[in-house]
Structure 1
Amino acid sequence: MTIQEVTTRRHERQFAALPHRLHRHEPAYIGALDNEVDDVFNPKKNKLFANGGKARRWLLLDGQQQVIGRVAAFINPSTVRIDPTLAVGGLGFFECLNDQAAANLLLDAACDWLRAQGVEAVDGPINFGDRDKFWGVLIDGFDKEPNYGMFWHPAYYQQLLENYGFQLYFKQFTSSRATHRDDQPLHPRFWKLLDEALAAGYEFRHADASQPEKLAQDFLHVYNLAWGKHAGVQEMTLEQARKIVRELKPVLDDKIVFFVYYQGEPVAFYVNLPELNQIFKHVGHRLDLLGKVRFLYERWRYTRRRDKKMLGIIYGVVPEHQNKGLDMALIASTQDPVPAAGYRTTEMNWIGDFNPRMMVTIRAIGAKVIKTHATYRKLFIDRPFERYPIIR
């Protein structure tokens, strides 16, 4: 077996194609779009490179020059020194045959390069970018289809990583529930809190896609106050928020994007999207011209269904309005609009085990954990291992 650094366009195609070749016969497998994986490592598309970020990719070849594994390593300038006492790099996009020796060769290549960059630990498998995509290795729920932006992995990947010396940094839980109030009723307290919030002057509305600037500004305001101060999360700029709104326009259903306002100011949001893998699984992993035409057709078919699945992307309440039951009131306010828009089930984008408050909310609405991913950490220096800090 030999290691080959990704340096040519042919290597890039082989890197993108490997998971489809390894897993295409698995019933639950839905692959990532090749162009989205390519964009992570394209300096013209990923701004982390311009800010000093570095990345390398490798393939593993067998004796017949067949690709049997892949991995990437990277230095994210936004996160490498979140802990000022420990420089941390990243490793991701790991795929491999069920062969520990093969996995070790790949992981050695990535970890050796990271050590040479001066880092003292590595987290993985993670993304060279935000946490909303390509983050974690699947360790439970192998019979469930992955949501858009998440990888499906076979069960043996967990053992390959742990045998190499990776330790659990945090777990990532994906939960599901029925949306119709008759299928999965909420506790009466949710409705009581909604009535109290309405009486106190809170307004509950869905977004208006015809006002993209307002959508971007409202999203930015809540995001930065509710999430921007958390470890590992960077505050967002208005231009970034505008870009998100522009990129989501082809798939956005504003009837399932919810905001709460108080005295005209956005104070909470619950952002959902149609679960795009329910469309992409009929399109394939190449979004070329033919793929785009197929996507438009499959999207047209999917939007007319009355049994759609939505994906909860992000949920948050600004600190000033927390601990008032507003999170539960917001959930209650969505119970009629969501099924009316044709969505019968919802899956919540992963929530880390370091966020007990959100896990309590998930349990309170009757959602069940159906998939678990894990983020691991491996230390290169001699110091006590610590798991990801709990959000208090």
Structure 2
Amino acid sequence: MKVLKVVSDRHRKEFLDFPARIFSHDKNYIRPLDKDVEDVFDSKKNRNFRNGESERFLFVNDQNETVGKIAVFINKKYKQKQPTGGIGFFDCVDDQKTADCIFDFAKNWLQERGMEAMDGPINFGERDKFWGLLIEGFFEPLYGMNYHAPYYKQLFENYGFQIYFNQLCFGRKVHAPVAENFLEMHRRVSENKNIYAKRLMVKELEKFAKDFTQIYNKAWSRHGEGKQLSEVQTLKLFKTLKPVINEHISWFIYENEKPIAMWMNIPDLNQWFKYLNGKFGIWQKLKWLWIKNFKKNKKMVGLVFGIVPEWQKKGIDGYMIWEGTKHFRKTTSFEDYEMQWIGDFNPKMLAIAENLETGVTRKLATYRYLFDRTKPFERHEML
């Protein structure tokens, strides 16, 4: 088997096209946008190259047919008990020997750079995209989410990878009954005339970005991996989301003029992008605009849910959920609601998801492989 480093345009095209052939008969596969994948490996667009390096490889059999691919990377900011590198964008035919060769190659590449373990499949970047191996829930992936065939799990585990942490997605039907305790919370909070709800409006984007920042920083400051955001960062994010914001599905709660809670949702972009076959040139953008305006999107995605500490456990969650739900049931065509994944090491976030009356919809896993097989394996520490 030959190993080809991805350097030419032909190799880059093959790296992008190969998964589409693997999943050519799978109706649930949605090809990621080529641009989103390529941006990961563009040192001008991915700031992680400042603290690490990444390379991509294709694996070709004797008949000159691609049988697998992988990306390998190290990031000095990825702090672990032992130096740990990453593998991602792994795809392979259903053959353990081929997979073992690919994993061996990745292991050697990382060992040469001082690594003692590898995590995968992960992204050379943030955890919000291309992170984890799908092991349950083989239906259409959300935008930015990995999709794999069931046999990939065996390829990883037969090689010796172990689950470092599970990634759980939660969801519910938009028109499913809302629990009586949520309705009771809504009735109780509604008696306070200083509390009111507002939906996010594009014309007031700067105001909502500011309010989001205040709530987020207060709500998540006590969490182990909580990050403080600046208003500049939030406004930049909101402007990026502006073309896909639906003004009926993101909600903010105020006490007088003070923001105290928010529930951010957007349409699932994959329900539109699945018609573009990974491309997003001028023609595809025009096609996307037509699809976006004339084809109903029936799935919404939960991005962030937060309540400032002084208003937690006081019924604000039930108030906000019912205010939002009763509105977007009337004004939108959404039928399904699904949240982005939550790590099983984060019980506080899992509790929030359960409080939203959701159930587990799919499961991904982040695997780890220790190069020294005599060392004890430890899962992700609990937050």
Using structure 2 for the length normalisation, give the TM-score: 0.91
Partners of 1:194 and 1:35 lie apart in 2 by: 43
Structure 1 residue 97 corresponds to structure 2 residue 93: yes
2:307 corresponds to: 317
Contact 2:53-2:74 within 8 A present in 1 as well = yes
Structure 2: runs of 5+ lacking an equivalent: none
In 1: Cα distance, 2:90 partner to 2:263 partner:
32
Deviations 1:140-196 (A, max 9, x none): 112x1111111221001011111121111121222331212xxx2222211222233
Structure 1 equivalent of residue 364 of structure 2: 373
Residue 284 (structure 1) aligns with = 277
**Equivalent residue for 1:88?**
84
Look up the SS of the partner of 1:388 in the other structure.
coil
Query: What is the distance in 2 between the residues matched to 1:212 and 1:36?
Result: 25
1:132 to 128, 131, 141: 128
Could you tell me how far apart the structure 2 residues matched to 1:225 and 1:127 are? 28
1:70–1:218 Cα change, 3 Å: farther
Residue deviations 1:253-273, cap 9 Å, x none?
Answer: 122112223353333221111
Hey, what's the Cα distance between the residues in 2 that align with 1:236 and 1:62? 48
Q: Distance in 2 between matches of 1:318 and 1:77?
A: 33
Alignment deviations for residues 317-350 of structure 1 (CA, whole Å, 9 cap, x no partner): 3344333343333222222122123122211222
Distance (Å, rounded) in 2 between the aligned partners of 1:87 and 1:231 = 21
Distance 1:77 1:262 in 2: 43
> CA shift at 1:364, angstroms?
4.3
User: Which of 137, 159, 165 in structure 1 is aligned with 2:154?
Assistant: 159
How far apart are 1:41 and its partner, in Å? 0.9
How far apart are the structure 1 equivalents of 2:247 and 2:375?
48
Whether the 8 Å CA contact 2:200–2:252 is kept in 1: the answer is yes
Q: Give the structure 1 partner of residue 180 of structure 2.
A: 188
Give the distance between the partners of 1:230 and 1:63, measured in 2 at CA. 52
Tell me the residue number matched to 2:213. 220
Specify the alignment match of 2:69 in structure 1: 70
Q: Determine whether 1:254 maps to 2:247.
A: yes
**AA of the residue aligned to 1:351:** I
Partner SS for 1:256: coil
Please, which of 357, 368, 384 is the counterpart of residue 376 of structure 2? 384
Report the Cα offset of residue 230 of structure 1: 4.4
Structure 2 counterpart SS, 1:249: helix
- Give me the identity figure in percent: 39
2:9 is the alignment partner of 1:15: no
- Which stretches of structure 1, 4 residues or longer, exceed 6 Å deviation after superposition? none
Change (3 A) 1:228 1:72: farther
Structure 1 residues 212-246: Cα deviation after superposition (integer angstroms, max 9, x where no partner)? 22232223333334346645564434333222112
| 1:31 maps onto 2:22 in alignment | no
Distance 1:375 1:219 in 2: 30
Query: What is the one-letter code of the residue matched to 1:194?
Result: H
How far off its partner does 1:361 sit?
4.1
Q: Unaligned 5+ residue runs, structure 1?
A: none
Please, which moves more after superposition, 237-246 or 361-370? 361-370
SS in 1 for 2:229: coil
- Pick from 335, 339, 342: which aligns with 2:325? 335
Contact 1:3 1:106 survives alignment (8 Å) = no
RMSD (Å) for aligned C-alpha atoms: 2.2
1:293 corresponding residue in structure 2: 286
SS in 1 for 2:314: coil
Correspondence for 2:108: 112
Show the 5 A alignment for 1:187-206: 187-200=179-192, 201-206=194-199
Distance in 2 of aligned mates of 1:110 and 1:202:
55
SS at match of 1:291: helix
Normalised by the length of structure 1, the TM-score is 0.89
Determine the structure 1 residue equivalent to 2:336: 345
